[in-house]
Amino acid sequence: MTSAARLRVAVLISGSGTNLQAIIDANANGELGIEIVGVISDRPAARGLQRAAAAGIPALPIDFKACTDRTDYDEQLEQTLDRLAPDLIVLAGYMRILRTSTVNRYRGRMLNIHPSLLPAYPGLNTYARALEADEDWHGTTVHFVTPELDAGPAILQYRVRIGTEETEAELRARVQQGEYLIYPEAIKWFAADRVEMRADTVILDGKPLAGPVVIDEQR
């Protein structure tokens, strides 16, 4: 990006949009230097769409249940993204798997945040699974999106030590606080041309990362 350009960012959500709000707030505070050109949700009632509208950002529902089939939905999504012409797509609690053609079209320009220390616990119910396995650590990961579920190269992780007899709700709350820190940070790095994906490797400040940057919770 040139110094005069503002990175055009589209955000995809399915729910309450707390990560979206963290990104909106960081940008409003001058930390990111991006333009959020639209927020898309597969659920018209998603609270995140209200957050977008309140911030003056186009809120764009594509009702999955109203589509004739999955192909219809995917085509509407791609058409909406085409109109927005984003430089970066941010998945922030988006609960549908994107089709491979969409992911490949934006390869290296699509980020996701997943509530585990990937590659551990891809998929759903990560907090319960970590607790059931008696893990010492849990956390969240910002990664580039590839067609394989939650398998793209990781950029940043926030790590918390699991407490004795900690509940799933308590662990989730701690990890989510970390999400609100590291997702805006990763977007800031991308907007400043500090981070990119080359051949499934994360390049940070011109050097390949052997693993994600890890930030531990400070308590």
Q: Which domains does the chain have, with CATH numbers?
A: 1-106 (3.40.50.170), 115-219 (3.40.50.170)
Number of continuous H segments (helices) and E segments (strands) in the chain? 6, 11
What is the per-residue pLDDT for 2? Answer: 41
Q: How far is CA 40 from CA 22, 77, 82, 195, in A?
A: 16, 8, 12, 25
* % of the chain at pLDDT higher than 90: 97
CB contact set of 210 (below 8 Å; sequence gap of 6+): none
Reply yes or no on whether 143 is catalytic: no
pLDDT (tens digit, 9 = 90+) per residue, 81-94?
999 999 999 999 99
Choose the catalytic residue: 114, 138, 143, 174. 114
For 63, left (φ over 0), alpha (ψ -120 to 50), or beta?
A: beta
For residue 22, give the nearest of 187, 194, 196, 150 by alpha carbon.
187
What is the per-residue pLDDT for 4? Answer: 57
Task: Tell me the C-alpha distance between 160 and 50, whole Å.
Answer: 31
207-219 mean pLDDT: 95
pLDDT (tens digit, 9 = 90+) per residue, 24-60?
999 999 999 999 999 999 999 999 999 999 999 999 9
Instruction: Flag whether pLDDT at 119 surpasses 60.
Output: yes
What is the Cα gyration radius of the chain? Answer: 17
pLDDT (tens digit, 9 = 90+) per residue, 162-205?
999 999 999 999 999 999 999 999 999 999 999 999 999 999 99
Query: Exposure string (b/e) for 63-91, b if CB count within 10 Å is 16 or more?
Result: ebeebeeeeebbebbbebbeebebbbbbb
pTM of the model: 0.96
